Chains A and B, each alone.
Chain A
Amino acid sequence: MFGVYFGKYLEGKGILTPEQYDSILSDNKNNKVKMGLLAVESGYMSKAQADEVNMLQQMQDKRFGDIAVEKGYMTDAQVSELLKKQGDEYLLFVQALVEKNILSLEGIQKELNAYKKSGRFTALDIEAIKSGDIDKIAQVFLKNENIVPTVTDYIALTARNMVRFIDSHFRMEKVEKVNEYTASFVAAQELDGDYRFFSGFCGDGQGIKLIAEAFAKEEFETVDADVLDAACEFLNCNNGLYATKLSNEDVDMDMLPPIMKEEVTTIRSEGNMYRVPFYIQDKQVDLIVCIESKWSLD
């Protein structure tokens, strides 16, 4: 995760070529061992337990380690130990830059300071990005006094599921409140119950197509109804996990059939509507979220 953000910054400054950026991220991804495997290899869990936790992860918006601790299969200390074994992503990225003679350690620090300044990040924000923890990173980009906590939770959950199901190199940028948004393609869903909720992936279609291809494990030639269907199916799974979280807080929400638009569409809201830019392989797709406000699609 750290490499995705800092690496993209370095690429933008011409310090990294796109090929170097892709190569380093790919190498680092391959160097990261899955938690389940580590747990079994360390003797903390049996294979059957690891398989059970993997299965439970399909139904819950929780990390492997969290579920394993809840089930009593591992302790917090054991999870922390395994996370360290997984690989410090920041160090792996720094190591790659140095070994490939792209930047020295001093050069990296200099660029990191410049990155912090350009993004108006605090020192804590940079530590969060360095951590590689999508939850901490999401909070950096969701810092906005105008955003309601439920929306923050939803966007953070969606970011986690983007990493989990779509692309571990997924990147997000800062959330902003908007009244109106226009896109060529929309893959969306409404939830209704204790309050009204709308969310959708919107944009020129290329980012939506990458979501569709990753989720459906299928290549699509153009952005069409099948692409929107696959993107909506991912959104449906994502929203289901969100609805589970809400139901644990005694908030009942029903998911309605998907909304797919293949023509230019404007989403308008009289109240709480937010836009979060997501990037998958440099293709932008915006996540639009509306809560408890009148919204319309034209």
Chain B
Amino acid sequence: MASILIVDDSRTSRKILKGILESEGYEVVGEATNGQEGYERYVELKPDVVTMDITMPVLDGIEALKKIKGEYPDAKVVMVTAAGQKTKMVEAVQNGANEFVSKPFEAEQLKKIIDKVVG
């Protein structure tokens, strides 16, 4: 099953997401609390998929996406948004985001999106 790196500054969000992903059979290989750490962990772990929160301190999700995609164009990144972040979603698409998932998480929707991205 696919390996996933979770990048989100919220412990609650990481916990909920990890719970859903693992119950669906994915392997969560790492977590990061901001975009910079997310980029560093990507380089270290090379997961199949990254889930990337948008609003984070230090380096936000869009900048982290650019950094990862800049060096690893084939990286698969699913942006995690709160509803209402339309401008950020457009920017993410322009920078190579593969898909989006909205908070609050819905297990079935999340699985469909991860399955689609993994291919």
Contact = CB atoms under 8 A, between A and B. Distances in A.
Interface of A: 51, 54-55, 58-60, 165, 212, 215-218, 226, 229-230, 232-233, 236-237, 239-247, 252-258
B117 interface: no
A255 B88 CA distance: 10
Interface core residue of B13, B88, B102, B104 (most chain A CB under 10 Å): B104
A162 B85 CA distance: 21
Contacts of A237: 82-83, 103-104
A247 B82 contact: no
B75 to A, nearest CB: 24
Contacts of B16: 216-217
B36 interface: no
A221 to B, nearest CB: 15
A24 to B, nearest CB: 30
Interface core residue of B16, B82, B86 (most chain A CB under 10 Å): B82
Contacts of B106: 54-55, 58
A229 B10 contact: yes
A225 to B, nearest CB: 8
A60 to B, nearest CB: 7
Instruction: Specify the main secondary structure of chain A where it touches its partner.
Output: helix
Contacts of B86: 244, 247
Given A58-B106, A240-B85, A243-B83, A255 B12 contact: no
A91 to B, nearest CB: 32
Given A58-B106, A230-B12, A255 B85 contact: yes
A254 B10 contact: no
Interface string B1-31: 0000000011111011000000000000000
Given A58-B102, A58-B109, A59-B102, A229 B83 contact: no
Interface string B69-106: 00000000000011111111000000000000011111
A216 B55 contact: no
A66 to B, nearest CB: 16
A226 B10 CA distance: 9
Contacts of B15: 216, 218
Nearest to B53: A236
A255 B83 contact: no
B84 A226 contact: no
A253 B108 contact: no
A233 B37 CA distance: 20
Contacts of A245: 84
A243 B85 contact: yes
Given A216-B15, A229-B12, A240 B103 contact: yes
A242 B84 contact: yes
Contact of A246 (B57, B84, B103): B84
B22 to A, nearest CB: 15
Contacts of A51: 108
A253 B87 CA distance: 9
Contacts of A212: 12
B82 A243 contact: yes
Contacts of A215: 12
